[in-house]
Chain A
Amino acid sequence: MNVLLDNFPEFRDGFIGTVSITAVSSVIALVLGVVIAGFRVSPVPPLRVFGTAWVTLLRNTPLTLLFLIFFFVVPEILFPGMSPFLLGSLALGFYTSSFVCEAVRSGINTVPLGQAEAARSIGMTFAQTLRMVVLPQATRTVIPPLSSIFIALTKNSAIAGAFSVTELFGWQKLMSDRGYEITPVFIWVALGYLVVTFVISGLFRLLERRMEVAR
């Protein structure tokens, strides 16, 4: 208990750090993932190849290596002096985007072909088919996998702590450097992550219930 009370400001900063890096990289992952999924289902071969390469590469690279790339290689290509927070969010977001992409793609693939054919046969345009028939159904199938992807992202954000981004793992490290017993530290950090992941799964369950329809 003392560990938490004595070091509460640092813990609070770490917690806020975890929440904000999760939020920022979720947005990056979602946007990139949907775009890449669009590439992968598009009728344009080079874009499809690019999407496939993107997913294969990012999925088979350890996230830690990706962090190394973003902290040491990317600043050389883009402008140097980006903040660790931004670099960390980008690494996490890029990594997770490949999983989002696959979830979205399989969501689109689960919509029965007949649905779109029926829509076209009653004279709907492409945009109408997409907006009124395909996307609503795809979104519903995508929500459960997205939920576990974002929970995994929260857990992955711990690695950012090792790359000098302020978040909960950083607090664990700091406390063990200060010589506190590791078990209580571990429990508090774990609780911190549990709070974030519970909120995410709660939000997604809410979303799922609101979008539920009888099929």
Chain B
Amino acid sequence: MSASVLYDAPGPKAVVRNRVYAVVGSLAILALIGVSVMRLADKGHLAPEMWDIFNYAGIRQNIADAVLATLKVFALAAVGSLVLGVVLAIARLSEHRPVRWLATAFIEVFRSIPLLITIYAVWVGFLTDYSMWALAAGLSVYNGCVQAEVLRAGINSVPKGQGEAAYALGMSKTQVMAGVLIPQAVRAMLPTIISQLVVTLKDTSLGFIILYPELLQTARLIASNTQVNGQYPYVSTIAVIGTIYVAMCLLLSALATWIEKRGRRAKTGIVTASTAGPTEAPGALGTPGGPAGAPGPASKD
């Protein structure tokens, strides 16, 4: 840690001081955790019966179904948002002014409205009986707008000569886009695109509000329908479901990091966007921060 701006390599006095802070800090953190666990134990949330419910085949089946439902919506939304993202990105770069304006307006509007509002409106207005499709549609629209901006930044980061060379060879605009620009843009932006997919995965939990039986909705149903020792097992259910969520998101983030490392090894001359972490922006409804090395998505909101 000698490469920090904030301090030099510690001398003997500082080393002692740091040790004291380390001990005090760990004690404080441990005390915090200890008090929480004790309070939960006092209320009976750590009783073995509370956690025993996960040994029932029915509840296990419920959770498995819920994971499947979550993944189903995630797959739909991922495909939907990527397709919409490509379409919107191309429309934003169109030579026809009305198309450009329309795409820009669409992106700006749906990117700046809370996702929950959109999902709810789609659900109530159009797809009341199809909560899965409503959720997938809402997620696709919002994340499609974000992906479009990511892709646009990627396309803009491709050296200009590439497109010019392709045109000089006599390729049509479609050929230039599909054969030259988009592949390079996707390659440069893959880590950011996957980060946004992590956000999409987290956002599937909004299905809970439109009663789609995904993981979180199932968790609430399990917790409010089973009574153990006269209490509802919220703590244990949330612990289990939370672990599943965090594991799923970390796996996807790990994929992004792996791809980023691979991309860096290849010497294509294209700058690969760096993933600062699992997700670039404040999750649920965030916009990805400008990736380093490529011009970030124009954030006008």
Contacts of A158 in B (CB 8 A): 114-117, 285
A130 within 8 A of partner (CB): yes
Contact indicator per residue, chain B 228-252, by CB within 8 Å of chain A (1) or not (0): 0000001100100110011001100
- Interface flags for B273-289 (1: CB within 8 Å of A; 0: not) read 00011110111111101
A contacts with B, residue count (CB < 8 A):
69
Task: Report if A8 contacts B (CB, 8 A).
Answer: no
Residues of A119-159 contacting chain B, CB below 8 A: 120, 126, 130, 134, 145, 148-149, 151-159
In contact, B114 and A43 (Cβ under 8 angstroms): no
Inter-chain contacts of B208 with A (CB < 8 A)? 64, 162
Is B109 an interface residue, CB under 8 A from the partner?
yes
Measured CA separation A65–B114 after assembly (Å): 17
Q: Is B133 an interface residue (CB 8 A)?
A: no
A173, B245: Cβ atoms closer than 8 Å:
no
Interface residues of B in 10-48 (CB under 8 A from A): 10, 14, 18, 21-22, 25-26, 29, 35-36, 39-40, 43, 45
**Would you list which residues of chain A between 21 and 59 have a CB under 8 Å from chain B?**
41-47, 50, 55-57, 59
B299–A148 CB distance below 8 A: yes
> Taking the complex as formed, is B272 at the interface, i.e. its CB lies under 8 A from any CB of chain A?
no
Contacts of A65 in B (CB 8 A): 205, 216, 238, 241-242, 245
A148-B289, A194-B112, A197-B112 given; A162·B209 CB < 8 A: yes
**Contacts between the two chains (Cβ within 8 Å), count:** 203
Asked whether A68 is an interface residue with its Cβ less than 8 Å from the other chain, the reply is yes
Please measure, in the bound complex, the distance between the C-alpha atom of A41 and the C-alpha atom of B4, giving whole angstroms.
8
A69, B113: Cβ atoms closer than 8 Å: no
The interface stretch among A81-89, A102-110, A206-214 is: A102-110
Tell me, in angstroms, the Cα distance from A162 to B116 when the chains sit together. 9
Report the minimal beta-carbon distance from A126 to chain B, rounded to whole angstroms: 7
A190/B7 in contact, CB under 8 A: no
Q: Known contacts A99-B282, A169-B114: does B6 contact A73 (CB below 8 Å)?
A: no
CA distance A195 to B36 in the complex (A): 40
B253 at the interface (CB under 8 A from A): yes
Q: How far apart are the CA atoms of A70 and B172 in the complex, in Å?
A: 56
Given A44-B25, A148-B299, A173-B120: A108 and B5 interface contact (C-beta under 8 Å): yes
Residue B168 at the A interface, CB < 8 A? Answer: no
Chain B binding surface, main DSSP class: helix
Q: Give, as a whole number of angstroms, the nearest-CB distance from B113 to chain A.
A: 5
Contact of A63 with B284 at beta-carbon distance under 8 Å, contacts A73-B238, A130-B6 already known? yes
B113 touches A72 (CB 8 A): no
Whether, in the assembled complex, B223 has its beta carbon less than 8 Å from a beta carbon of chain A, the answer is yes
Q: How far is the CB of A163 from chain B (nearest CB, A)?
A: 9
- In the complex the two chains form, what is the Cα distance from A203 to B220 in whole Å? 39
Contact partners of A176 in chain B: CB under 8 A:
120, 124
Chain A residues, Cβ within 8 Å of B14: 43
**Is B285 a contact partner of A156 (Cβ separation < 8 A)?**
yes
Residue numbers in A under 8 Å from B113 (CB-CB): 155, 190, 193-194
Does A95 sit at the interface, judged by CB under 8 A?
Answer: yes
Q: Say yes or no: is A115 at the interface (Cβ < 8 Å to chain B).
A: yes
Q: Flag if A183 contacts B125 (CB, 8 Å).
A: yes
Question: Given the complex of chains A and B, what is the CA–CA distance between A41 and B281 in angstroms?
Answer: 20
Q: Which residue of B lies closest to A119 (CB)?
A: B5
Q: Are B5 and A111 neighbours in the complex by a CB distance under 8 Å?
A: yes
Report chain A residues within 8 Å CB of B36.
77
User: Contacts A61-B245, A72-B223, A102-B276 known; A148 to B286 CB distance under 8 Å?
Assistant: yes
Leading 5 A-B pairs by shortest Cβ distance: A152-B282, A62-B205, A158-B114, A60-B249, A182-B125
Residues of chain A having any CB pair with chain B under 8 Å: 41-47, 50, 55-57, 59-65, 68-69, 72-73, 76-77, 95-96, 99, 102, 106, 108-109, 111-113, 115-116, 120, 126, 130, 134, 145, 148-149, 151-159, 161-162, 168-169, 172-173, 176, 182-183, 185-186, 189-190, 193-194, 197, 201
Q: What are 18 inter-chain pairs, A to B, with CB distance below 8 A?
A: A44-B21, A55-B277, A59-B279, A60-B202, A62-B284, A69-B242, A111-B5, A134-B6, A148-B301, A149-B281, A149-B286, A152-B286, A155-B112, A158-B114, A158-B285, A162-B208, A169-B114, A186-B117
